[in-house]
Structure 1
Amino acid sequence: MAGSGWAPPRLDGFILTERLGTGTYATVYKAYRKRDTREVVAIKCVSKRSLNRASVENLLTEIEILKTIRHPHIVELKDFQWDSDHIYLIMEFCAGGDLSRFIRMRRILPEKVARVFLQQLACALKFLHDHNISHLDLKPQNILLSTPENPQLKLADFGFAQYMSPWDEKHVLRGSPLYMAPEMVCRQQYDARVDLWSVGVILYEALFGRPPFASRSFAELEEKIRSDRAVETDLVVEAVKKDQEGDASAALSLYCKALEYFVPALHYESDARRKEAIRAKVGQYISRAEELKALVTSSSKKLLQRENPARELLKEMAKDKPRLCAALEMASAAIAKEEEGKDDGDTLELYQRSLGELLLLLAAEPAGRRRELLHAEIQTLMSRAEYLKDQMKMREAQSMGKEALAEPVRSACTLQ
């Protein structure tokens, strides 16, 4: 049946191909323009039979809003058409999928990646609010990524969006429960600021891999939001578990990641009792992290500093390949700097530059003994670079923790 998702509907001027997603009353397909440009687009096909009065109003508002706005971080509506069965919204195609899938594939996002995405989302949201538009359904599934590599965030799906001045108040329930502001969940009047709550939930999910108030019902969600109990992180629980299992390396990494979240909490907490509790935790994690670091550093250095006869053999076999020789020399320089105790950003950059070159050469290297040795050497260098990166991150996390613990002491001295 057309529009059911089994076979895409036909639309003049376009070839509809794979299905990208399905909602309550619409299915989105990847499509190509038939004309010379062969432009790739996404077409949202809305079945007229599935529309009730409210969904017609939502669709008309969505078209009206998207027709009037242009912004680099908002998906562009290129055109819309209709026939007897469907309404078609012809949209900009985003090859990177949605933010929900992006987070799931990586489990959690590094803080620097989350920061860039949130800056882009804030930029789009400010643009909308400056035009008195509230999205009202912000969630990772409605945020698309332009490309798989170096993605730009694109805000999409304006099906619940409304024209709202900052002082307007509404009471109609809109959006997705896990990302709804408390005013909506508790069925109170709300204003344009509800979008900001959703941004906070999205940021939490990006950093921790799940929304903060996962619940099976509205009642449970309301209870969790109303509770003054702090949202707990799984990092510490996992760190303790790995520590008890004797996996010192994994435990150390998790303790340091936990410090990245507890240190800002310590800095911004205004309640004296909670601040003291966080201080105690930070001190405890730093102390254990230092014990584990001594264990991990000792065993890792022994492993990495073993003689590698294969490396010397590879250098002999690379004498007729100047580019390969140069890349291997760069790698040797990185190893030498690290073994001298220069485990810093410059050494890491040397590793990364040599690996970038060696990976290109590996792709062009024919099968044989030299390829096998090159493959093994790349794996060894990657291990060393990852180890170095972890050491730098751990030092930074511990340093942040110690500074945060010293902060109240410095304040007291200043006051005296």
Structure 2
Amino acid sequence: MALAAGGLLTVPTLKGFILTDKLGSGTYATVYKGFRKVAHREVVAVKCVLKKSLSKSSTENLLTEIEILKKVKHDHIVNLIDFQWDGHYIYLIMDYCSGGDLSKFLATKRALPERVVRRFLQQLASALQFLHYQNISHMDLKPQNLLLSNSYDPVLKVADFGFAQYVEIEINSESLRGSPLYMAPEIIINATYDAKVDLWSVGVILFECLFGKAPFASKTFSELADKIKSNEPIKIPSSIRISDQCHDLMFRLLQRDPKQRISFEEFFDHKFVDLEHMPSPQCIERAKKIVTEAAQKDIEGDYKSAASLYCQALEYFLPAIHYEKNRTKKEALRSKVREYMQRAEELKQSFKPSAAHPPSTPEAPSTTFILDGLANGYPELKAALHTTCQAETFDEQERYEEAFSKYEEALGQLLPILQSEPKSHRRELLQSEVLRFMSRAEEIKNYLEMNRLPSRQDSLNQSVMVTNDSENATWCVIQ
């Protein structure tokens, strides 16, 4: 390393580049912002590794890092553009991420909204899935190694593969890999581990993003080790409300016993991660295909299928809007999606049940009223008719969930009575009522099924704005 007058360390010099601001430093490397000496002045990040600081193991780690970065090309993994060396340094020239790292972002925000965390988690999961299929484990996942492409619309990218390994089977090693706060318990306790250590780290990162601190935050390594070795289950705070899906994933990631921890396949398929619907170039094509089928069902009059397909298409249209970077195209797509949403809601409301059966009056007694009079001395029929009255009351009040439940209960009571009832006027009346209740219950069931279809109007209109105070900028994530 060159020394300036007075013995002060100077910035390394790399042929063809100008190195400026220091972005970060580690045990044996320092990362600088750099500019390529060409007309368009390409901005890069340059990791400068001092050769004389490398031990045998760190040299092996560096070679593995270069090999892996040369091999992997993914939207959510930092890109190695080139690597060079001279008498003093080895230089890794990589994409520059102006948004800094996730740890600095968290330091200014303390905690992030769940929908923002979910978007980052999808991007991290996408990168891990790509690595997993190539038997590569990162081994040092932490917010400091998750870079953000910019401050206004950040894309998360996994960086620093200095501890990465090809892992196909369980490893026995006395050396610790990773950072203690994010390190899986089996590494510290057993020195035996496999690729699932990365899933533990994801759980810690997820916890920290949501609650503002890691689950085992400690002042000393000794205190941290005691917490990790403890058998007490990890407590997920109730101070901040999170969805059941998010809670379930975090609980399954943060299992001390790796055998109890969620598997990679389960993680990638988990509903909270939902890789199927993350923003990507494929979303718009999938959405168009489904909405075309929905429109055809709409024309054919199969409104139930049409409503379902419109809603399925929206699950792809919304991430497609997020993926689109051109503002004009984004707004045009958003406008079109609003039309599909409106049509889906219209179809769903078309299944709303017609007016409930008119109440019984002395001048026009209902069949149920007449049956009630014929049920004297028949307590089972009396009880069943009482249940139908409850169902119809809920029905009139448009409390359809409760009405459907009571109709089901009433039919469960009435059908055995009808089967055992001999031929009579009462049997004819009872059969007529059972058929009416069945028809009404089916009508309500269809409406309830329609209303359970996802409605994403709020997601389309809502933007989650997070002000980046350090950069005086904002960025938006559209759920």
The counterpart of 1:179, out of the listed 168, 182, 185, is 182
SS at match of 1:91: strand
CA–CA distance in structure 2, aligned partners of residues 196 and 351 of structure 1: 31
- Check if 1:260 corresponds to 2:242: yes
Report the counterpart of residue 249 of structure 1 in structure 2.
none
Structure 2-normalised TM-score? 0.49
After superposition, the C-alpha distances for 1:154-196 in whole angstroms (9 at most, x for unaligned) are: 000000001111x242323111001011101213310111100
- In structure 2, what is the equivalent of residue 68 of structure 1? 71
Counterparts of 2:251 and 2:95, CA distance in 1? 43
Conservation of the 8 A alpha-carbon contact between 1:5 and 1:27? no
In structure 2, the partner of 1:131 is: 134
Letter of the 1:185 partner, please give it: I
Cα distance in structure 2, aligned partners of 1:187 and 1:66: 29
Q: Which of 213, 218, 223 is matched with 2:216 structurally?
A: 213
Residues 277-356 of structure 1: pairs in structure 2 closer than 5 A: none
Shift of 1:151: 0.3
Contact 2:171–2:194 under 8 Å retained in 1 = yes
CA distance, structure 1, for counterparts of residue 116 and residue 149 of structure 2: 15
Distance in 2 between the 1:13 and 1:268 partners?
46
**Distance change in 2, residues 1:347/1:186 (3 Å):** closer
Q: 1:110 to 1:87 in 2, by over 3 A?
A: same
Counterpart of 2:2 in structure 1 is 2
Question: Of 142, 153, 157, which residue of structure 2 is paired with 1:154?
Answer: 157
Q: Residues 371-390 of structure 1 correspond to what in structure 2 (within 5 A)?
A: none
Partner Cα separation in structure 1 for residue 186 and residue 156 of structure 2: 27
- The residue aligned with 2:341 is none
Cα pair 1:5 1:19 within 8 Å, conserved: no
1:169 maps to 171
Measured against aligned partners, the alpha-carbon deviations of 1:299-328 in whole angstroms (never above 9, x if no partner) come to: xxxxxxxxxxxxxxxxxxxxxxxxxxxxxx
Deviations 1:183-226 (A, max 9, x none): 01213310111100000000000001111001244443333234
Alpha-carbon distance in 2 for matches of 1:84, 1:266: 52
Write the deviation string for residues 110-169 of structure 1: whole angstroms up to 9, x where unpaired.
00010010111011011111111110000000000001111000000000001111x242
Larger proportion of helix? 1
Superposed CA offset, 1:55-88 (max 9, x none): 1111111001101110000000000000001000
Letter of the 2:159 partner, please give it. Answer: A
For the structure 1 residues 193 and 80, does the alpha-carbon distance in structure 2 shift closer, same or farther, using more than 3 Å as the test?
Answer: same
Match of 1:204 in 2: 207
Secondary structure in structure 1 of the residue aligned to 2:77? coil
- The question of whether the paired residues in 1 share the 8 Å contact of 2:83 and 2:91 is answered with yes
The range that moved more, 226-235 or 214-223, is: 226-235
Matched-pair identity in %: 57
SS at match of 2:18: strand
Q: Tell me the C-alpha RMSD between the 2 structures.
A: 3.1
Question: Is the 1:208–1:233 Cα contact (8 Å) retained in structure 2?
Answer: no
Which amino acid letter does the alignment assign opposite residue 16 of structure 1? L
The change in CA–CA distance for 1:21 and 1:126 in structure 2 (over 3 A counts) is same
String of CA shifts for 1:306-357, please: whole Å, max 9, x gaps: xxxxxxxxxxxxxxxxxxxxxxxxxxxxxxxxxxxxxxx99999999xxxxx
SS at match of 1:260: coil
Give 1:34 deviation, angstroms.
Answer: 0.4
Q: Write the distance in 2 (CA, Å) between the matches of 1:72 and 1:151.
A: 12
Amino acid at match of 2:2: A
Q: Which runs of 5+ in 2 are unaligned?
A: 253-455, 464-479
Match of 1:337 in 2: none
Cα 1:347/1:169, change in 2 over 3 Å: closer
> How many residue pairs align between the two structures?
256
Give the deviation of 1:260 after TM superposition.
3.3
Contact 1:138/1:198 (8 A) holds in 2: yes
Matched, 1:227 2:230: yes
Letter in 2 for 1:225: I
- Between the aligned partners of 2:206 and 2:154, the Cα distance in structure 1 is 17
| Residue type at the aligned position of 1:170 | N
